[in-house]
Amino acid sequence: MNSSNTAQTEGPHAYPRAASLELRHVRKVYPGAARPAIEDLSLTVPAGEVCVLVGPSGCGKTTAMRLVNRMIELTSGEILLDGASVMERRPAELRREIGYVIQQIGLFPHQTIADNVATVPRLLGWDKQRVAARVRELLELVQLPPELAGRYPAQLSGGQRQRVGVARALAADPPLLLMDEPFGAIDPIARARLQDELLQLQARVRKTIVFVTHDIDEAIKLGDRIAILREGGVLAQYAPPDELLASPADAFVAQFVGRDRALKRLALSRVGELALLPADGTLHGATIEPDTSLRDALSLLISDGDRPLAVSNEDGGVAGLVTLDMIRAALHAEPAR
Amino acid sequence: MTALAAAQPVIPDFGRGSSCVRDNGTFCWDWVRAHWGDTLRPALVQHVALTAVAVAIGFAIAFALALLAHRRGRLTTPVVLVTGLLYTIPSLALFQLLVPFTGLSRTTAEIALVSYTLLILFRNTLAGLAGVPEEVRDAARGMGLTPRQLLWRVELPLALPAIVAGMRIATVTVISLATVAVFVVNEGLGAPIFDGLQQTFKTELIAAGALCVALALAADALLVLVQRALTPWTRVARSR
């Protein structure tokens, strides 16, 4: 399970490292609670992948995440980080190796942005130059202007603060990142941008990420794998987004992913990925870019009569045509794994 | 020349006092100037010392109690009860109560003064610690700060404004109360005030009283400056 070279270093002061995570028969009963918050949860996240825990409130997703860095202690079971049990580590030391981002961000109001980002490197005893270089690198990584380094959190916008939160979590280049509804308190437009940025960031740093959300669309957008939990921390289905949408395991999952799951699934694929029909002078409707999603193509097709759509190529010509039948066929194809 | 001088009417000698002092004026700057060195300044210095020692000891005790109560919440109620009880004892009575044990000494004065700082300093320190946002605490723990690091690097710095606010109230209170300490020890600005009360000439009373007020204002201003220097983040312009 240990694939220590999957991660890309994002700068000279970082280490390329991602860790696998395994939950084995994890159980958590809060003192005085009638029923366990998590009954028996087993889950494996391969190194360098984004695992999204999603489910209705009270399903134990945040509890499951917080068990990993021992913010909450296990009742029984095992959690292995790169094959080693987290229970054998001292909590403070363990947490310094695991990035931690929460919805309310929790930046230190009395420290500048630079000092906030430098928190874990300083706990680890890095020297001054290395810390300063790392802070500069991280602000650039999360696309914050360097002049923000000397400001205080109160002087930043919500989106900027959330980026600082991510930079702070990545500071010591942890092999695992825990994110608890990090974009939940951000307005929808800024949230979409932060999600895109996280995907770009992940393409560069390749961390193992456990991401908690209650928003299925966010889960589909960000997850390499999605774990749908129901009450009591029961794993209803654990699968890549495409598979989850193509074949929900049961009625609960089907209801959770929504009746528009076919559309959601179409949103995952681009027309450029289809085997296009040759454009042999056939009358066609609108012209679209190859990176248009199948969902958008479908919308155009059903609103634009029965004419196929033309897909443009790089030099402005027509690469081929897309028809309604092709999109229907794509929906019935085997889910990509 | 001598004959001429002798011919002038002789100015009667009324001693060293100025006309203001001789006429028993309401307030005589001459008296203040004449007695600054031998009466007012020593009294002021003693007053500052009485106050500083009381606030320092009071803070040490209250701070330690607040840290304990911050960890173990059930300590809060008994501490508030005891310090609150101390706070309600009239100062004159408290001084007299202590005399059989510690005599007419500076120690007696300080014990009484310290006891008046405890409630304010304890409550403000505890409130400051409790006011640290939960998400800040959660993020700090999640990043691997030990409980001690959390306290000294996050909770106490964030509690500073509340702690200093408590110091300001405690300091001003002690400066005012320390005048009453003259009943057990002849030190501080209480001495010239007490002296002034016993005569018809009021300058000494007024001067010492004014010094006491000025000292309180100056101490308060100094603490405000200290707080501003220690908590730069509280003054930043908010962009949202």
Residue in B138, B143, B238 nearest the CB of A155: B238
pLDDT at B69: 95
Res B5 pLDDT > 60? no
Whether residue B215 contacts residue B47, with contact meaning beta carbons closer than 8 Å, is answered with yes
B144 to A123: CB separation less than 8 angstroms, yes or no: yes
Strand, helix or coil for residue A51: strand
Residue in A106, A110, A157 nearest the CB of B139: A106
Res A74 pLDDT > 60? yes
Which element (helix H / strand E) includes A208?
A: strand A208-213
Res A219 pLDDT > 90? yes
What backbone phi and psi angles, to 5 degrees, belong to B151? -65, -50
Per CB-CB distance under 8 Å, the chain B contacts of A97 are: 144
The alpha-helical segments, DSSP class H, found in chain B are 2-7, 19-22, 29-35, 41-71, 76-88, 91-102, 106-130, 134-142, 147-149, 156-177, 190-197, 203-230
Residue in B142, B149, B158 nearest the CB of A109: B158
Question: Can you tell me the distance from the alpha carbon of A292 to that of A281, in angstroms, rounded to the nearest whole number?
Answer: 22
Whether residue B14 contacts residue B21, with contact meaning beta carbons closer than 8 Å, is answered with no
**What's the pLDDT band for A4 if we cut at 50, 70, 90?**
very low
A123 to B143: CB separation less than 8 angstroms, yes or no: yes
List, for residues A92-148, the tens digit of each pLDDT value: 999 999 999 999 999 999 999 999 999 999 999 999 999 999 999 999 999 999 999
Put simply, whether B236 touches A (Cβ < 8 Å) is yes
A152 to B233: CB separation less than 8 angstroms, yes or no: yes
Put simply, whether B233 touches A (Cβ < 8 Å) is yes
Residues 89-148 of B with CB under 8 A from A: 133, 135-146
Q: What is the ipTM metric for this complex?
A: 0.85
Whether residue A132 contacts residue A112, with contact meaning beta carbons closer than 8 Å, is answered with no
Domain boundaries, chain B: 40-231
CATH class of the domain defined by B40-231: mainly alpha
Per CB-CB distance under 8 Å, the chain A contacts of B135 are: 102, 104-106
Measured CA distances, A297 to A220, A244, A245, B148 (Å): 19, 22, 19, 58
Flag the least confident range among A15-19, A198-202, B40-44, B229-233. A15-19
What backbone phi and psi angles, to 5 degrees, belong to A119? -50, -60
Burial of B12 (0-12, 13-18, 19+ CB in 10 A): exposed
Res A177 pLDDT > 60? yes
Question: Can you tell me the distance from the alpha carbon of A226 to that of A332, in angstroms, rounded to the nearest whole number?
Answer: 21
pTM of the entire predicted model: 0.84
Put simply, whether B152 touches A (Cβ < 8 Å) is no
Encode A283-316 in three state secondary structure: CCCCEECCCCEHHHHHHHHHHCCCCCEEEECCCC
- Helices A128-141 and A188-205: angle between axes, nearest 10 degrees: 120
Contacts of B161 (CB under 8 A, 6+ apart): B128, B227, B231, B234
Question: Can you tell me the distance from the alpha carbon of A242 to that of A172, in angstroms, rounded to the nearest whole number?
Answer: 33
Residues 21-80 of B with CB under 8 A from A: none
User: Ramachandran region of residue A170, left (φ > 0), alpha (ψ -120 to 50) or beta?
Assistant: alpha
Whether residue A199 contacts residue A222, with contact meaning beta carbons closer than 8 Å, is answered with yes
List, for residues B37-48, the tens digit of each pLDDT value: 888 999 999 999
Whether residue B75 contacts residue B69, with contact meaning beta carbons closer than 8 Å, is answered with yes
